[in-house]
Structures are given as C-alpha cells and as structure tokens.
Amino acid sequence: MPNFPQDLRDAQLALHQTRAAYEQYATTLPWSAEPMPGWESDKQLHSNYVSGKPDSSGYTEEQAAEVARFQAELLRLSAEVATHSYWESLSGPDLVDARMALKHAHEQLAEA
C-alpha cells in the first residue's frame, strides 16, 4: 500500500464516514423531497408483485437543511481528496492503483 500523507488519509476517512452517515439519514426521510401523492402500480404479469409508495409529506425545512449540509460536506471532502497534491507525484496505472488503494486504506489500518 502506498504511503499516503496523513491529511489525505484523514480526508478519505471523513468522506467515507460522512457518506455512511448521509445514507443512514436518508433512510429516515420521506421518499420525495416535495409533497407528492402516493401511487400503486398494476399487478405485474406472471407475478403477484404490485409496487407503490404511500403519500409523501415532503421534507421539513430542517430535513432539507440537513440534506444540503451533508451534500456540501461531501462535495468539499471529495474535492479535497481528488485535488490533493499527493496525486501530482503519480501517473498512469500507478495513479489509478493508488486512488483505489486509498479507498481501502482505513480498512487495512483497522486490521493492523
């Protein structure tokens, strides 16, 4: 595994953690950001499956603000990782391999 600078490792870990927190938060939200009526589809041919959604109340102001906060933080962290000066020292397949390794660097540290 490449010897990544600590600030790059920290930014990548924060990106992972923020993404996981956002995904967990999103599971608590209504299915639509705006109020929308629910729906139910017709029964599928050769199946008993009928899909549908209940009415959505839409996001509250607090929920919309929290989603915006998560999205801004994810954008900031993504840019920090993607534009880090460490990447300038690599090119070609080495750059691709290092970027992929960074995504799993926190797993290898946890195992050690």
For residue 105, being part of any structural domain is answered with yes
For residue 95, being part of any structural domain is answered with yes
For residue 21, being part of any structural domain is answered with yes
For residue 35, being part of any structural domain is answered with no
For residue 85, being part of any structural domain is answered with yes
Q: Which two tokens stand for residue 57?
A: 């109340």
For residue range 51-110, list pLDDT tens digits in order. Answer: 888 999 999 999 999 999 999 999 999 999 999 999 999 999 999 999 999 999 888 766
How far lies 43's CA from each of 16, 52, 54, 90, in Å? 39, 10, 17, 54
Single pTM value for the model = 0.85
For residue 81, being part of any structural domain is answered with yes
- Give the count of domains, the chain: 1
For residue range 34-51, list pLDDT tens digits in order. Answer: 999 998 887 777 887 778
In the prediction, which pLDDT does 112 show? 64
For residue 53, being part of any structural domain is answered with no
For residue 41, being part of any structural domain is answered with no
28 — pLDDT class (breaks 50, 70, 90)? very high
